[in-house]
Amino acid sequence: MPKSKRNRPVTLSKTKKKGREHKENVVNSIRDAVEKYDSAYVFTFENMRNLKFKEFRDRLKSSSRFFLGSNKVMQVALGRSVADEIRSGLHKISKLLRGDSGLCFTSLPKEDIQRLFNEYEDYDFARTEVELKEGPLDQFTHEMEPFLRKQGMPVRLNKGVVELVSDFVVCEEGKPISPESSRILRLLGIKMATFKLHLICRWSSEDFEVYREGLEDSDIESS
């Protein structure tokens, strides 16, 4: 195994002492995580909810560690090129730290991490009440009737037309939106903010994988 370069000193200039110390602590913590855990992931997020993210992170705290913050500081910790990366290949994930992103270090199998991230989404609180009135639902085709019933809607087919047999409240103002309600709202074209996490790539000492499409090869090739 190549000798680790995690103890290489890092200079973070043009900051106040307190800010510099904090950034250096983050750099050292990330480098410790590289040595402690088997793999590292870059992830992005939509509509961040700090409390919900803390709950997600706490579920994995025995096997994983998360970092959010300055992408530049995280890139410095990992290394931004072959010349300064602390482990072979880490500069590739460093290049993919962009925008609203973070790092997850873990010893869990990749199949478990992929499942946990892909399945996780948290639905926002409704900002208004959405109610559907009894009668025909012309916006839905007859093929959708079984799906709508599975979402809890009191529907039936009447001469090939989906019909709501009684008034139905999809969501109420100030109350959490259930997964079923969220699906119905999407079908109705009503957008609600949903906190979601997306895996971008995975690094380990043996391999490197990119999960999200649309990333240019030049973004991850070593210079």
Nearest one of 22, 29, 37 to 6, comparing CA atoms: 29
Q: Residue 198 — left, alpha, or beta (φ > 0 → left; ψ -120 to 50 → alpha)?
A: beta
CA–CA gap between residue 160 and residue 168 (Å, rounded): 20
* Tens digit of each residue's pLDDT (9 = 90 or more) over 27-81: 999 999 999 999 999 999 887 878 788 989 999 999 999 999 899 999 999 999 9
Q: How far is CA 159 from CA 11, 136, 142, 163, 171, in A?
A: 74, 11, 9, 10, 28
The predicted-structure confidence for 193-211, as pLDDT tens digits, reads as follows 677 889 999 999 999 999 8
Q: How far apart are CA 37 and CA 14, in angstroms?
A: 32
Where does 32-140 show beta strands of DSSP type E? 39-46, 64-68, 101-106, 121-123, 130-132, 135-136
Check pLDDT > 90 for residue 104.
yes
pLDDT in tens, 133-179: 999 999 999 999 999 999 999 999 999 999 999 999 998 887 888 88
Pairwise CA distance, residues 91 & 83, whole Å: 9
Our measurement of the distance from residue 151's CA atom to the centroid of its chain's CA atoms, rounded to an integer in Å, reads 25
Q: How confident is the model at residue 217 (pLDDT cuts 50, 70, 90)?
A: very low
